[in-house]
Structure 1
C-alpha cells in the first residue's frame, strides 16, 4: 500500500486495485479511517478529533491530486506523492 503523504504523525495511504468509492486511508497511532475523496465523508473507521480535522483540511486542499492518485492505483501505477499539510 503506497504512502502518498505524511504529516504530524498521520500517514495517508492508498491501496492498489481498491474498491469504489474512491477513498484513501489515514492512519494515526492505532487509529485508521477511510475517507471518500469526493464527499470527504468517513466510509469506515475513526480518528481522534484533532487528527481528523487536519486530515480533512489536507484532503480538501488536495482533492484533485487525490483523485489522480486514486486513478493511478486503480491502474496499478504508483501514485504521486502529495504535499503534506503545512
Structure 2
C-alpha cells in the first residue's frame, strides 16, 4: 500500500485497485480508519481524534491530489 504522506500523528495510504467510493486509509500505530475523499468522513475504523484531525486537515488542503492519485491507482485502463 503506497504511502501518501507521513504527518507524524498519522500516515495516509491508498491501495491500488481498491473498491469505491474513492477513499484513503489513515494509520496510527495499530489503529486505522478509512476516509471518503469527497466528504472527508470516516467510513470504517477508528484512530485518535488528534490523528484524525491531522489527516482531515491535510486531506482537505490536498483533495485534488488525492482524487488524482485515486484515479491513477484505481481506474481501469480501457485499452485492455
Is the shorter-chain TM-score for this pair beyond 0.5, marking a shared fold?
yes
* Paired position in structure 1 for 2:63: 63
Number of matched pairs: 76
Q: Which has the higher contact order (CA 8 A, sep 6+)?
A: 1
- Quick one: distance in 1 between partners of 2:22 and 2:75? 13
Structure of higher CA gyration radius: 2
* Paired position in structure 2 for 1:84: none
With the length of structure 2 as denominator, give the TM-score of the two structures: 0.89
Q: Tell me how large the CA RMSD over aligned residues is.
A: 1.2
With the length of structure 1 as denominator, give the TM-score of the two structures: 0.83
> What are the ranges of 5 or more consecutive residues in structure 1 without an aligned counterpart?
77-86
> What are the ranges of 5 or more consecutive residues in structure 2 without an aligned counterpart?
none
